[in-house]
A and B are shown apart, each in its own frame.
Chain A
């Protein structure tokens, strides 16, 4: 009897623990694979509740580098991808993994480095800054994670006329991590790096770092959103996913994106409809 009672008790305990995990009723929810910059800058925390309040659709964000986020979409593990690497996005579309690309907003990259600026990178264009950093062999932190920011960095080295494979040495630190860890590494070693402005503005552990180069037209960083192709992955919540995309590019969504500020500074600039592909 005693044993039976104990068994029943442990069963009841198990059910109490298991129950909430297993039997959580889901309201309509979509999964969005996006980038660390949109998550870590705080944009989603500000934006998503507004969408959910209006439509009742919850949005679950998996924040990864752009390359990984697109891979999650390719495998059908997300309903929507919201990333920033136009070339990679167009490949995604060409493979038939996505339905249609909509431009949503842009922000910009900044070159961040030690305030003392030993390489003399400040002031000019991004390409000139990179050439000076390479000449000085000053410590430089690279994301190295196939993210949109990493892709942009590699593009800028090329634009600067430098062959990264030939010049890279100990000064070039490839950390293979998100924007935050890369900023932490740069802050700890007083290194230069390329950051998106949003993550930089919300980053708390700046140490001696400051923005050295900004405003160069090349530093423009376009975000695009795509529905994962329901023809390829039938479980994709096409209706809810499309509702999210439509809202993002609607006047209302665009206004809300523009309204997100940190310390009075606007982080993302809506530009839906400026160019579609």
Chain B
């Protein structure tokens, strides 16, 4: 183990442009999926928190449960949808980065929605009476609450990014791990492990962890800056 680790560090030094390209693709796919997930999940979660309607408890339960959607199942369903023999086949998206974005978006949207709902519901418990006295329509109330908790939502976004960048089940099935085209950090690590090149696999793993740390640090710094500027 220690030897492998030492060899990995040596291999890291010789990492070439190929690894940079793979890391960049991973980052692009997961960030895009998180963006889609945030655009869909934040309004959804906020509305579920604010609007009272029959079946709401069931929907909340469903949202919370779907935070645990197995990536490989999501991948399989998207695969069947995007396959040439499937309903969305004519789009020709299977085995492309766009397919990976679609699968990861499906994975992270419920996660963002569920966390947003909880954060917004907590904020509403504090501010609810005042807000209701303004007699605003629900979507306006939801909007105000989201704005109020915007800095807390960063954690939800980071959780979603963590889920997206680290999963392999979905990207492997819908992306196909094509060299130079749909190979991501996780599928590359899996491939090198399969080839028995454990040192290179571990080195790639270190790069992935570094990437996640970097994104989290960037988000934390941005958040602190924003709190000071606008909070």
The interface size bin for chain B is: 20 to 34
Residues of A within 8 A of B177 (CB): 62-63
Q: Please give the distance in Å from A116's CB to the nearest CB on chain B.
A: 20
Closest to B85 in A: A75
Q: Which residues of A contact B98 (CB under 8 A)?
A: 21-22
Check B195–A204 contact: CB distance below 8 A.
yes
Question: Tally of A-B residue pairs with Cβ under 8 A?
Answer: 82
* Contact status of A205 and B97, CB under 8 A, knowing A60-B181, A62-B178: no
* Inter-subunit contact A184/B196 (CB<8 Å): yes
Does A183 make an interface contact (CB < 8 A)? Answer: yes
Q: Decide: A77 and B181 in contact? CB cutoff 8 A.
A: no
A62 CB contacts on chain B under 8 angstroms: 95, 176-178
Contact A61 B178 (CB under 8 A): yes
Chain A: interface size category: 35 or more
Report the minimum CB–CB distance from A150 to chain B (whole Å): 16
CA distance A62 to B83 in the complex (A): 14
B101 within 8 A of A: yes
Asked whether, in the complex, the Cβ of A204 is within 8 Å of the Cβ of B89, the reply is no
How far apart sit A204 and B196, CA to CA, in the bound complex (Å)? 5
Q: Which residues of B contact A77 (CB under 8 A)?
A: 83-85, 94-95
Binds A, one of B27-35, B51-59, B130-138: B27-35
Question: Which of A12-20, A159-167, A214-222, A261-269 lies at the interface?
Answer: A12-20
Which positions in A face B, CB cutoff 8 Å? 14, 17-18, 20-22, 24, 31, 36, 39-40, 44-45, 60-63, 75-77, 177-181, 183-184, 187, 202-206, 233, 235
* A to B CB contacts below 8 Å, 8 in the list: A39-B179, A40-B194, A44-B179, A75-B83, A180-B195, A180-B196, A183-B196, A204-B197
